[in-house]
Structure 1
Amino acid sequence: MPECIVCLEPKAASDFPTKPLTVTCEHPPSTCLGCIRIAIAVNLDTKPLSRIACPECEEILSPEAIQRYADDVARQKYNDMVIRQALEGFEGFIWCASGCGSGQIHDGGVDQPIVKCNSCGGQTCFQHRSLWHSGVSCEEWDLIRSFPTPSTVDGGPSGGGILDRIRRTREIQASEEIIGKISKRCPGCARSIEKNGGW
């Protein structure tokens, strides 16, 4: 009885493929069908779809070979991964970050970053591919995420918190815009002044 080169168990001839797994394999099949099924399942968890290979020589398996030799669970997983990869190839496609498993095309792109899921109603940020960061813009969210600890966001021990600083920055910018519109620089001291009466 032939022996599988992976599990080293003696097997019946019917426990081996009748032909090489790929058209480029240059060896007779020496891995049993059970070990091939396990190899495909493990590769689906550890490699990109385009790198699923023969367990003996690392020649890439065709989609037909994967369908032929994978078990039902791995076959379904492979089909789901192929569909997911195809959908992600469409421009503007985004998965719902709420975890409902639904996805859709979003025509607004980053100019209109809030994506409302057609299935569950959850909101996803198109730019960050995460749940919508309510109350802050994408730029502000990037700033928040650049700080290493949650305490800098909620005003903890680091003092003030990012959200407070963002609000203060907005207020200062708004004040500066108003001052720029209604005042001019004093020729003597260069401070912003507003004429509200007099000659």
Structure 2
Amino acid sequence: MDEECQICFELLPRQLFLQITANCNHELDVCETCVDKHIQAQLERKGDVEIYCPSSGCKKEMQHRDVKRIASKQVFERYDTLMLRQTLSKLPEFRWCKNSRCGSGQINFEEENAPIMTCEACGQKSCYTHDVPWHKGLTCSEYDIKRLGEDEATQDLLERETKPCPRCGVRITKDGGCHHMTCRVNTCKYEFCWLCLADYNEIRRNGNTSHRRTCQLYA
């Protein structure tokens, strides 16, 4: 007996309807193809891995095993890549390379005992302690002293915690949340990726391939 998918409204064989998560307790009312498209759309729109059941009124979060079971190979590989990058970013010992053209990263198990990190992919040196390109000629303590000067500290704060809007140049502060930014200047309102400054209109049209190849969200 055929069932109607609540998303595409097609009448389809019942075997094409799957339980989306182990926590779902509703009828099987969304077809496998629509779930796959839902996962893909969420990855391209939000650039994160928090994906929820698309069935009306459910919203249970899909786990890694759910996505692997349902999604197509291409969609799952994109999801898996983003999940790996987000997992690495949460490790306290992990640092992304400071070379904007690299996109690699590594774990420093010695932490502040060996603050100079050399990227295994491109050779860029960075400071583990301050999470900036290596301050050549200065120890970490000397770098801290240098930053205490008012002008230097202000400039350091601007460089580390703000970025200029790619369209109007006004510096913007990221206050948590996702990497989708919108310029607050009323005459601008440009939308871009905080990590690589890619145009979000292009990301909406073409998906995460519109991020720069070295961006953590590129997949």
TM-score bin (small chain): 0.5 to 0.7
1:76 maps to 77
The whole-number CA distance in structure 2 between the counterparts of 1:26 and 1:126 is: 46
Look up the match of 1:92: 93
User: Matches of 1:80 and 1:112 in 2, distance apart?
Assistant: 29
- The aligned amino acid for 1:80 is T
Deviation at 1:28, TM superposition (A): 1.6
Aligned to 2:154: 143
CA distance in 2, matches of 1:96, 1:85: 15
Letter paired with 1:96: C
- Residue by residue over 1:96-129, the C-alpha shift from the partner in whole angstroms, topping out at 9 and shown as x without a partner, is 12243322223343x8654321221113343554
Q: For 1:102 and 1:131, how far apart are their aligned partners in 2?
A: 14
In the alignment, what sits opposite 1:122? 124
C-alpha contact (below 8 Å) 2:125/2:134 kept by paired residues: yes
- Determine which structure has greater relative contact order: mean sequence separation of CA pairs < 8 Å that are 6+ residues apart, divided by chain length: 2
User: Alignment length, in residue pairs?
Assistant: 146
- Give the counterpart letter for 1:73 in structure 2: Q
Structure 1 residue matching 2:3: 3-state secondary structure:
coil
Return the letter of the residue paired with 1:120.
Answer: C
- Summarize the Cα distance change of 1:26–1:53 in structure 2 as closer, same or farther, 3 Å threshold: same
Q: Shift in Å at residue 54 of structure 1? A: 0.9
Structure 1 residues 13-92: aligned runs within 5 Å:
13-17=14-18, 20-45=19-44, 46=46, 48-49=48-49, 51-56=50-55, 57-92=58-93
Q: Are the counterparts in 1 of residues 8 and 34 from structure 2 also a CA contact under 8 Å?
A: yes
Give 1:196's aligned residue. Answer: none
Q: Deviations over 1:66-96 (max 9, x none)?
A: 1011122221122223333443344321121
Shift of 1:142: 4.4
Which AA in structure 1 matches 2:106? Q
Name the residue aligned to 1:105: 107
* Structure 1: runs of 5+ lacking an equivalent: 151-199
- Whichever structure has more strand as a proportion of its residues is 2
Contact 2:48 2:82 in 1 (8 A): no
Q: Could you tell me how far 1:25 is from its partner in structure 2?
A: 1.3
Partner of 1:197: none
Name the SS for the 1:31 alignment partner: coil
Shift of 1:16: 2.2
Q: What's the CA shift for 1:12? A: 3.3
Q: Report percent identity of matched pairs.
A: 29
- What SS does the corresponding residue of 1:101 show, helix, strand or coil? coil
User: C-alpha separation between the residues in 2 aligned to 1:133 and 1:143?
Assistant: 17
Q: Against the structure 1 CA distance between its residues 76 and 142, is the aligned structure 2 distance closer, same or farther, given a 3 Å change threshold?
A: farther
Alignment-mate amino acid for residue 62 of structure 1? Q
Amino acid at match of 2:60: E
Q: CA RMSD in A?
A: 3.3
What is the distance in 1 between the residues matched to 2:107 and 2:130? 15
C-alpha change, 1:97 and 1:146, in structure 2 (3 Å) is: closer
Partner of 1:194: none
Q: How many angstroms apart in 2 are the aligned matches of 1:75 and 1:55?
A: 17
Letter in 2 for 1:25: C
